[in-house]
Amino acid sequence: MVLESLINPWNAEKHPKTMLLYGFIYASLGFFLGLWVFNEHASLIMVFLTTMAAIPLIYNIIKVEEKKDLVFHSEKGLLKEHSRALRVFLNYFIGTTLAFAFWYIVLPNSTIISAFEVQANTINSLRANVTGNASYLGRIFFEILSNNLKVLIFCILFSFLYGVGAAFILTWNASVIGVAIGDTIKTGILQISEKFHITTSHQYFGVITYGLLRYIIHGVPEILAYFVAGLAGGIISSAVIRHDFGTKKYEKIILDSSVLLLISLVLIVIAAFLEVYVTPTLF
């Protein structure tokens, strides 16, 4: 397909920052096609369409990473190689998140209400839950950690069962975070405009920076954890398809995947800690 031909795994790993642009393009196409063709269900359809555009690249990257397991003997060297794929995934995620945030900010309320209905409901539900337990930080920490662990498990299962199944979960998260960032920035700009009746470039920069940092601080390690877990599940899935059961190759792949899963668990705990104890303090 046309989108698949734009970039291949090797170029993506060599130039991971280009995935910021491709992520933005994929999400923008998914957004407008979903809004145009399936207006009433655009909030979910856009996620499916964005995911479909990225599936060929993500699938091919996972296949490349699985082959690296058979070539590299040093776990340290292997993790370094996997980090190339993770940089691609992270840049893709940031690109899609920025696209959803951008369209949320620039489009009129009448459009975004229908376009991001499910995402907005999800955010309101999460905010209500946290607000209701604001005096119990320990409990909030374990609630958020428990929720993030569920998402982590789904990423592993979806990647194992469908190869690139985690891509949908991660794109969905990108749309939710994008709406949250967009709402924060849009609300901030409106408040400044009402107060000062004029908005300078300096004020715009301040509001945008605030909106991004509020979610990036804990969002990056959290999403990275999901990508690491998804990569582990995808590598195992690829090995199963190749019928490597019971071989030394399979044992090596399982060992590598176990290390990746351990890293994802550490990252998810760090992300929950930052979300509960650091982000609220700073913002």
Residue 135 scores a pLDDT above 60: no
Could you tell me what percent of the chain has a pLDDT over 90?
A: 29
Handedness of CA 82, 88, 94, 100 (dihedral sign): negative
DSSP string, 154-189: HHHHHHHHHSSTHHHHHHHHHHHHHHHHHHHHHHHH
CA–CA distance, 6 with 53 (Å, rounded to integer)? 11
Contact 89, 39 (CB under 8 A): no
Contact 118, 126 (CB under 8 A): no
pLDDT at 140: 84
CA–CA distance, 160 with 59 (Å, rounded to integer)? 12
The mean per-residue pLDDT over the stretch 2-31 comes to: 84
> Rounded to the nearest 5 degrees, what angle is found at the Cα of 22, between the Cα atoms of 16 and 27?
135
Q: For residue 174, name the pLDDT band (cuts at 50, 70, 90).
A: very high
Residue 89 scores a pLDDT above 50: yes
User: Of the spans 141-150, 182-191, 218-227, 264-273, which averages the highest pLDDT?
Assistant: 264-273
The mean per-residue pLDDT over the stretch 251-280 comes to: 89
| pTM, full prediction | 0.86
> Rounded to the nearest 5 degrees, what angle is found at the Cα of 258, between the Cα atoms of 257 and 264?
90
User: Of the spans 73-77, 118-122, 134-138, 187-191, which averages the highest pLDDT?
Assistant: 118-122
Contact 84, 16 (CB under 8 A): yes
The mean per-residue pLDDT over the stretch 10-30 comes to: 90
Residue 107 scores a pLDDT above 60: yes
pLDDT at 132: 47
By residue range, what is the domain housing residue 138? Answer: 4-282
Which of 1 and 254 is assigned the larger pLDDT? 254
Tokens of 91: 């840049």
Query: CB burial class (10 A; 0-12, 13-18, 19+) of residue 141?
Result: middle
Could you tell me what percent of the chain has a pLDDT over 70?
A: 83
Cβ neighbours of residue 180 closer than 8 Å, sequence gap 6 or more? 123, 215
CA–CA distance, 275 with 148 (Å, rounded to integer)? 11
pLDDT at 240: 73
CA–CA distance, 45 with 67 (Å, rounded to integer)? 33
Q: For residue 243, name the pLDDT band (cuts at 50, 70, 90).
A: low
Q: For residue 263, name the pLDDT band (cuts at 50, 70, 90).
A: very high
CA–CA distance, 209 with 274 (Å, rounded to integer)? 18
User: Tokens 């620039």 label which residue?
Assistant: 106
Among 119, 124, 90, 162, smallest CA distance to 31 is for 119
The mean per-residue pLDDT over the stretch 128-156 comes to: 78
- Report the domain count for the chain: 1
Q: For residue 169, name the pLDDT band (cuts at 50, 70, 90).
A: confident
Mean pLDDT of the chain: 83
The mean per-residue pLDDT over the stretch 268-278 comes to: 92
pLDDT at 57: 87
The mean per-residue pLDDT over the stretch 174-180 comes to: 92
8-state DSSP, 40:
G
pLDDT at 266: 96
The mean per-residue pLDDT over the stretch 155-177 comes to: 86
